């Protein structure tokens, strides 16, 4: 009777290492190949950033509380109201279409 000979433990381990190394090499090589095929794109619009400028912000106006009487300063700085001009539009008297009076 023939008996199959089991491979030695050392032989199996070495085979596993060989397979893993080969897979790793293929992976790294594949990445390199892919990188060579898809170079990074360059931007189509270029925004030139203006040179850094000193920005002058307007002074924050002083808020006058509503429940306090306006100060003289606030009143003095208020813009002058335009003069109101009264306009009289003459309207012609419409002719009556009927007259009401005691029964005729």
Angle among Cα 57, 60, 82 to the nearest 5 degrees reads 105
Output 73 or 89, the one with its CB closest to other proteins. Answer: 89
Output 49 or 103, the one with its CB closest to other proteins. Answer: 103
Angle among Cα 34, 37, 40 to the nearest 5 degrees reads 95
In Å, how far from its chain's centre is CA 55? 22
Piece of the chain touching other proteins by CB under 8 A; list 13-21, 36-44, 46-54, 95-103: 95-103
The reply to whether 85 sits near other proteins by the rule CB under 8 A is yes
Q: Could you tell me the smallest distance in angstroms from the CB atom of residue 92 to other proteins?
A: 9
d(CA 12, CA 8): 7
Q: How many residues bind other proteins (CB under 8 A)?
A: 22
Piece of the chain touching other proteins by CB under 8 A; list 17-25, 46-54, 55-63, 87-95: 87-95
Nearest to 18 by CA among 30, 6, 26, 29: 26
The reply to whether 99 sits near other proteins by the rule CB under 8 A is yes
Residues 35, 27 contacting (CB under 8 angstroms): no
Residues forming contacts to other proteins in the complex (CB under 8 A) are: 82-91, 93-104
């Amino acid at each position: 009777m023939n008996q199959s000979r089991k491979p030695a433990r050392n032989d199996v381990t070495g085979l596993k290492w060989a397979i893993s190394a080969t897979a790793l090499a293929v992976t790294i090589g594949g990445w390199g190949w892919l990188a060579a095929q898809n170079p990074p794109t360059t931007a189509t619009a270029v925004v030139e950033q203006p040179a850094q400028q000193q920005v002058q912000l307007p002074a924050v106006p002083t808020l006058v509380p509503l429940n306090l009487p306006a100060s003289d300063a606030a009143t003095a700085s208020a813009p002058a109201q335009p003069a109101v001009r009264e306009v009289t539009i003459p309207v012609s008297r419409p002719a009556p279409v009927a007259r009401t009076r005691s029964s005729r």
